[in-house]
């Protein structure tokens, strides 16, 4: 049966070839017929090839755009970091210039010192400084900022020191009001405010009046600004007046200080 089919197929093909040679029109018609049948498939293949080329091209452009965007983002971050460094340098220069100008108004020898750490003990206002005995920074030396008195040195090692701020409860400073010349003792409260204690009951202490160091004792020089009176009331024992003092120095923002080097400092 298969042999018979093969013979029929061969005879039919041979007949078509003879007809094509004998009748050119038929040849042309068959060519057009097959061309009509196969053209869509060739067109489809060409279209798929073009689409594939476009996809590869656009996909490449897409990844190139992503790579460029990442490069730009990295560049932007780098520039932002550089601007931040420049901004910090400018702020530091302003602070140091302010400190330098202030040092030139003082009748004392001073040296600049930087805060490099803090004591995390509750209610304490103790900081670590970047200079010590090798820089002639010694115990009980006075620390000031352009705004006024900041504190004193507690102890010194070879290259660092620990200092106590006015806001520490263990801090004590003999003080006087600038107008009424009323004397008292300014102490820390462990918070942002100070207290001026032992004011006589008949004292004339005004709200907003400045408080300065009195110079009593050998530690703190006279005339250093401490702060301003915010309120006045009787002490709990009723024997004195007690004043709330807002410190002049912004302790929470301090980064650099001046250390006063007095001839009497040991």
Cα first-last separation, the chain = 127
Both tokens of 100, joined, read 């330098």
Asked if residues 170 and 136 have their Cβ atoms less than 8 Å apart, the reply is: no
The tens digit of pLDDT for each residue in 87-99 reads 778 877 888 788 8
Domains of the chain: 1-76 (no CATH), 106-266 (2.40.10.340)
Q: How far apart are CA 163 and CA 257, in angstroms?
A: 11
Stretch 194-217: mean pLDDT: 94
* 188: pLDDT strictly greater than 60: yes
* 26: pLDDT strictly greater than 50: no
Q: How far apart are CA 23 and CA 42, in angstroms?
A: 28
SS3 47: helix
Percent of the residues in the chain that have a pLDDT greater than 90, as a whole number: 49
Helices (H), 23-166: 24-103
> 150 falls in which pLDDT band (50, 70, 90)?
very high
User: Higher confidence at residue 175 or residue 15?
Assistant: 175
């Amino acid at each position: 049966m298969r042999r018979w089919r093969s013979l029929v197929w061969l005879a039919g093909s041979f007949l078509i070839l003879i007809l094509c040679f004998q009748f050119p029109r038929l040849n042309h018609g068959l060519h057009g017929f097959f061309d009509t049948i196969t053209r869509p498939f060739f067109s489809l293949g060409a279209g798929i090839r073009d689409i594939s080329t476009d996809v590869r091209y656009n996909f490449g452009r897409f990844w190139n755009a992503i790579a460029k965007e990442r490069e730009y983002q990295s560049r932007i971050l780098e520039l932002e970091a550089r601007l931040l460094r420049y901004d910090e340098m400018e702020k530091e220069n302003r602070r140091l210039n302010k400190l330098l100008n202030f040092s030139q108004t003082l009748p004392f020898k001073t040296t600049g010192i930087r805060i490099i750490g803090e004591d995390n003990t509750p209610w304490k206002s103790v900081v670590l400084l970047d200079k010590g005995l090798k820089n002639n920074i010694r115990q009980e030396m006075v620390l000031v900022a352009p705004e006024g008195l900041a504190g004193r040195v507690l102890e010194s090692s070879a290259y660092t020191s620990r200092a106590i701020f006015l806001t520490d409860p263990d801090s004590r400073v003999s003080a006087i009001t600038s107008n009424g010349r009323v004397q008292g003792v300014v102490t820390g409260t462990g918070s942002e405010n100070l207290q001026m204690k032992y004011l006589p009951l008949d004292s004339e202490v005004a709200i907003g009046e400045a408080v300065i160091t009195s110079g009593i004792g050998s530690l703190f020089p006279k005339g250093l600004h401490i702060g301003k009176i915010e309120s006045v009331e009787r002490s709990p024992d009723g024997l004195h007046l007690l004043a709330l003092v807002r410190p002049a120095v912004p302790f929470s923002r301090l980064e650099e200080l001046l250390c006063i080097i007095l001839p009497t400092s040991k």
